[in-house]
């Protein structure tokens, strides 16, 4: 009988984990999944290949099934291995977070809070909340990780984040995470101040803007998907296009050219108030799914994370009121 076919009582397996697994076992499995070969994995951990091979044999003996398939060009993770790798990354992430927080507190600080955020959508909300928390805890280190929602979910699952501000689009992820809506996300069509389109008058249709140059976000972003759908409905696509990943790059390009851009209102609000950009009146109202507070269902928030979440909720109401005032 193959080892992968051996029936194992989950309670026995968990007992083995608790009693026998060590940090280096988890680190080796995670490193093998990351690097793909025993040579690179053990090199990253500063151990010999023979030690790594022996440790992997020990781990696979504990769980009763192979975690990797040895192939000519490296090592491929098995289906059971994927589950183990996810467990290893989660535990290692929590250990690293504990080490950082413990070290900071030992040196007289107040620990570390790591927040994942889709900064292109909620920069003012997150920044206001960080400022509020830092006023209350000036010696606590707050680290912001700005990624896409999918990347944030992955980091949160691994235990690398305390909480996150983003979206949960995958129904399966909603089983593992709590999602608390914070704000809707209206979009704004903007040009530089003084642009020929920057004049009061009748609202413009998207069709009337297609002939103008555009600065677009990548096709994978929610705002771009909304815009592409609107272009498709109009039956035309802009031909004078610059595509930029960086929100800040888009803002600079719009200010220095005659290009049009569609961005979250929260991103451009301060630029509009400062007279750097002008929001065009549009006949179409465009928005994307609102973002919210994302936390793990199986892990309670630390005291610092709970404090941040409470401040985030308060500030979300302020941002929502400001957005409504600016968009009317």
Residue 19's domain is classified under what CATH number?
A: 1.10.10.10
167 lies in the same domain as 312: yes
CB contact at 8 A, 119 and 247: yes
The total domain count for the chain is 3
pLDDT tens across 93-151, in order?
A: 777 767 766 665 655 456 789 999 886 666 788 889 999 999 988 888 898 888 778 88
Residue 202's domain is classified under what CATH number?
A: 3.40.190.290
318 lies in the same domain as 172: yes
Lowest mean pLDDT: which of 4-8, 116-120, 139-143, 171-175?
4-8
- The kind and range of the H/E element at 14 are helix 10-20
30 lies in the same domain as 149: no
The span from the CA of 317 to the CA of 284, in Å, is: 25
**Which residues span the domain enclosing 130?**
91-183+290-327
20 lies in the same domain as 150: no
194 lies in the same domain as 175: no
Angle at 120 between CA 255 and CA 133, to 5 degrees: 120
Residue 142's domain is classified under what CATH number?
A: 3.40.190.10
Residue where a domain terminates, one of 88, 108, 139: 88
Q: Which has the closest alpha carbon to 146: 172, 126, 131, 130?
A: 126
- Both tokens of 32, joined, read 């093998």
135 lies in the same domain as 125: yes
283 lies in the same domain as 210: yes
CB contact at 8 A, 20 and 62: yes
Q: Which has the closest alpha carbon to 293: 183, 186, 185?
A: 183
110 lies in the same domain as 170: yes
Burial of 109 (0-12, 13-18, 19+ CB in 10 A): middle
101 lies in the same domain as 60: no
Task: List, as one string, the DSSP characters of 120-166.
Answer: TT-HHHHHHHHHHHHHH-TTSEEEEEE--HHHHHHHHHTT--SEEEE
* Band (20; pLDDT cuts 50, 70, 90): low
Assess whether pLDDT exceeds 70 at residue 47: yes
110 lies in the same domain as 121: yes
177 lies in the same domain as 320: yes
Q: Report pTM.
A: 0.59
218 lies in the same domain as 267: yes
Residue where a domain terminates, one of 67, 88, 109: 88
Residue where a domain terminates, one of 29, 59, 88: 88
């Amino acid at each position: 009988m193959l080892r992968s076919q051996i029936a194992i009582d989950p309670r026995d397996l968990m007992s083995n984990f608790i009693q026998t697994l060590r940090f280096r076992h988890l680190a080796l499995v995670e490193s093998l999944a990351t690097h793909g070969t025993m040579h690179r994995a053990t090199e990253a951990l500063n151990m010999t290949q023979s030690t790594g091979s022996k440790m992997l044999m020990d781990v696979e003996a504990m769980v009763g099934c192979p975690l990797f398939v040895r192939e000519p060009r490296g090592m491929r993770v098995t289906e059971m291995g994927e589950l183990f790798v996810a467990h290893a990354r989660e535990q290692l992430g929590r250990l690293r977070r504990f080490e950082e927080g413990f070290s900071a507190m030992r040196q007289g600080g107040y620990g570390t809070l790591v927040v994942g955020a889709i900064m292109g959508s909620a920069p003012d909300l997150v920044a206001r909340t960080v400022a509020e928390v830092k006023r209350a805890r000036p010696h606590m280190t707050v680290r912001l990780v700005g990624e896409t929602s999918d990347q944030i979910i992955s980091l949160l699952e691994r235990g690398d984040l305390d909480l996150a501000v983003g979206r949960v689009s995958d129904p399966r992820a909603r089983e593992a995470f709590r999602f608390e809506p914070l704000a809707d996300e209206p979009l704004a069509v903007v040009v530089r101040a003084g642009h020929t389109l920057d004049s009061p008058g009748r609202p413009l249709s998207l069709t009337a803007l297609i002939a103008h140059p555009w600065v677009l976000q990548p096709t994978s972003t929610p705002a771009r998907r909304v815009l592409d759908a609107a272009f498709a409905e109009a039956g035309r696509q802009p031909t004078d296009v610059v595509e930029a990943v960086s929100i800040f790059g888009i803002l600079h390009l719009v200010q220095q050219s005659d290009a049009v851009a569609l961005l979250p209102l929260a991103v451009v609000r301060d630029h509009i108030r400062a007279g750097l950009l002008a929001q065009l009146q549009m006949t179409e109202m465009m928005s994307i799914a609102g973002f919210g507070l994302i936390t793990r269902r199986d892990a309670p928030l630390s005291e610092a994370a709970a404090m941040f979440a409470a401040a985030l909720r308060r500030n979300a109401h302020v941002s929502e009121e400001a957005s409504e005032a600016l968009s009317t």
